[in-house]
């Protein structure tokens, strides 16, 4: 197995797994916060959860396009790192402003 021939697989699969994990976590949190009678000590605002869900969906689309070979590996890596940085900024700095 040559790395150059399958580099889109080596990058697309981890991005897909991380994106699905993030998507599942945020959808589950949104459901728990809004549709159950559980009490939480701290609740993430819905604006942040919805923006995280949108970012995770964008990352899933990015990883699928990378796996198909429609996007170059360098471009998809740059886009994924920018999505990851936006996700980190949203969850660390802006979460206390809402």
Residue ranges covered by each domain of the chain? 7-92
Q: Are 45 and 29 in contact (CB under 8 A)?
A: no
pLDDT value at position 59?
96
pLDDT value at position 97?
66
**pLDDT digits (tens), the chain, 98 positions:** 676 778 888 889 999 999 999 999 999 999 999 999 999 998 888 999 999 999 999 999 999 999 998 998 899 999 999 999 999 998 888 776 65
DSSP string, 10-42: HHHHHHHHHHHHHHHHHHHHHHHHHHS----S-
Predicted structure pTM score: 0.88
pLDDT value at position 98?
57
- Token pair of 45 as six digits: 């605002």
Q: In 3D, which of 3, 7, 2, 17 has the Cα closest to residue 67?
A: 7
DSSP at 97: T
């Amino acid at each position: 197995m040559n790395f150059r021939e399958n580099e889109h697989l080596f990058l697309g699969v981890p991005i897909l797994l991380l994106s699905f994990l993030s998507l599942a976590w945020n959808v589950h949190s949104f459901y728990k916060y809004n549709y159950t009678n559980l009490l939480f000590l701290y609740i993430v605002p819905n604006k942040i959860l919805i923006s995280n869900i949108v970012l995770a969906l964008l990352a899933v689309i990015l990883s699928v396009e990378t796996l198909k070979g429609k996007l170059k590996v360098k471009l998809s890596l740059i886009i994924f790192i920018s999505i990851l940085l936006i996700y980190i900024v949203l969850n660390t700095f802006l979460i206390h402003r809402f």
